[in-house]
Amino acid sequence: MGKEDYSGVLRTSRYEVDRVLGQGTWGTVYRAKDKVSGDFVALKVLTPTELAQRQMVERGQTPQSVILKEGGRHSCARIVHRTLDVDGNGTYFLVMPVMKKFLDDVLGDERLAEARTRLKHGLSIEQINDYTRDLFDGLREMHEIRGDVHADLKPANLAIDKGRLYLNDLGTSTCASLQTSSTNSKRGERGFEFTRAPECFLGKDPSRYSDVWGAAALVYRMMSKDGSYPLQNEFGNVSDKTAYLEQIGSDRLRELLRDKIKRNISKEHRRIGKILEQCLDPDPNKRPGSSELVSLMDRATEKNRFWKDAGRFTKRFGVAVGAIAALGAVGYTVATAPKPTPSEPPKVSGLLYLEDNSGKTFDIEEPFELPETFDRVGLTTDKISKRVTNLPSIAYLVDCKAKAMLAGGAWGAERITPHEKELFDKHASDEEKQNITEGRFKPNALPEMYLVPAVALEATMNSIRDARGRVDLEDLLVFSRVSQSKRNEINLIKCYSGSGNFRDYQKALPEDEVNFIKSWLAYIHDGLARKDLSSDVKDNR
Q: What is the pLDDT of residue 439?
A: 63
Most confident of 100-104, 186-190, 525-529: 100-104
132 by Cβ neighbours in 10 Å (0-12 / 13-18 / 19+) ranks as buried
- Whether 47 contacts 28, CB under 8 Å: yes
**Residue 439 belongs to a domain:** yes
What DSSP assignment string belongs to 445-511? S-GGGTHHHHHHHHHHHHHH--TTSEEEHHHHHHHTTS-HHHHHHHHHHHHHHSS--HHHHGGGS-H
Q: Say if residue 146's pLDDT is above 70.
A: yes
Same domain? For 322 and 363 the reply is no
Give me the amino acid identity at 267: K
- Which H/E stretch holds residue 252? helix 241-264
Q: Which of 125-134, 239-248, 257-266, 430-439 has the lowest mean pLDDT?
A: 430-439
Q: What is the pLDDT of residue 246?
A: 95
Where a domain ends, among 97, 125, 151?
97
**Residue 7 belongs to a domain:** no
Same domain? For 154 and 297 the reply is yes
Q: Say if residue 285's pLDDT is above 70.
A: yes
Q: What is the CATH number of the domain that holds 275?
A: 1.10.510.10
pLDDT tens-place string over residues 170-223: 655 543 332 333 334 444 455 689 999 999 999 998 999 999 999 999 999 999
Please tell me the distance from the alpha carbon of residue 144 to that of residue 185, in angstroms, as a whole number.
Answer: 24
Q: Say if residue 304's pLDDT is above 80.
A: no
Helix, coil or strand: residue 128: helix
pLDDT (average), residues 93-102: 90
Helix, coil or strand: residue 46: strand
The pTM of this model reads: 0.55
Distances in whole angstroms, Cα of residue 378 to Cα of each of 140, 166, 336, 401, 445: 44, 55, 47, 14, 10
**Which of 522, 383, 390 has the alpha carbon at shortest distance from 455?**
390
Q: How many domains does the chain have?
A: 4
**Residue 4 belongs to a domain:** no
Alpha-carbon torsion (308, 309, 310, 316), positive or negative: positive
Same domain? For 224 and 368 the reply is no
Same domain? For 28 and 132 the reply is no
- Which H/E stretch holds residue 97? strand 92-97
Neighbour tally for 447: CB within 10 Å? 18
Residues 6+ apart with CB under 8 A from 63: 46, 48, 56, 92
Where residue 159 falls among pLDDT bands split at 50, 70, 90? very high
Q: Encode 282-340 in three state secondary structure.
A: CCHHHCCCHHHHHHHHHHHHHHHHHHHHHHHHHHHHCHHHHHHHHHHHHHHHHHHCCCC
Same domain? For 295 and 312 the reply is no
Same domain? For 71 and 138 the reply is no
Q: What is the mean pLDDT of the chain?
A: 76
Give me the amino acid identity at 326: A
**Residue 82 belongs to a domain:** yes
Q: Which domain holds residue 404?
A: 348-529
Neighbour tally for 417: CB within 10 Å? 19
Where a domain ends, among 242, 275, 301?
301
- Write down the H helix ranges in 337-465: 382-385, 392-406, 418-427, 430-438, 451-464
Cα dihedral value 109, 114, 115, 116, nearest 10: 70
pLDDT tens-place string over residues 227-269: 899 999 999 999 999 999 999 999 999 999 999 999 999 888 8
Please tell me the distance from the alpha carbon of residue 318 to that of residue 150, in angstroms, as a whole number.
Answer: 50
**Residue 343 belongs to a domain:** no
Same domain? For 274 and 322 the reply is no
**Residue 341 belongs to a domain:** no
Same domain? For 521 and 446 the reply is yes
Where a domain ends, among 47, 74, 97?
97
Please tell me the distance from the alpha carbon of residue 182 to that of residue 480, in angstroms, as a whole number.
Answer: 30
Q: Which residues pair with 472 in a beta bridge?
A: 351
Same domain? For 460 and 523 the reply is yes
- Whether 233 contacts 257, CB under 8 Å: no
**Which of 211, 223, 140, 176 has the alpha carbon at shortest distance from 468?**
176
Q: Say if residue 443's pLDDT is above 50.
A: no
Q: What is the pLDDT of residue 341?
A: 37
Q: What is the pLDDT of residue 226?
A: 87
Please tell me the distance from the alpha carbon of residue 181 to that of residue 202, in angstroms, as a whole number.
Answer: 15
Return the percentage of the chain with pLDDT > 70, whole number. 70
Please tell me the distance from the alpha carbon of residue 415 to that of residue 295, in angstroms, as a whole number.
Answer: 38
**Residue 3 belongs to a domain:** no
Where residue 1 falls among pLDDT bands split at 50, 70, 90? low
Q: What is the pLDDT of residue 440?
A: 60
Residues belonging to the chain: 541
Same domain? For 153 and 168 the reply is yes
Please tell me the distance from the alpha carbon of residue 320 to that of residue 270, in angstroms, as a whole number.
Answer: 27
Same domain? For 313 and 263 the reply is no
Distances in whole angstroms, Cα of residue 193 to Cα of each of 197, 213, 217, 318, 330: 8, 12, 11, 50, 42
**Residue 8 belongs to a domain:** no
Same domain? For 357 and 505 the reply is yes
Please tell me the distance from the alpha carbon of residue 149 to that of residue 163, in angstroms, as a whole number.
Answer: 25
Residues 6+ apart with CB under 8 A from 126: none
Q: What is the CATH number of the domain that holds 61?
A: 3.30.200.20
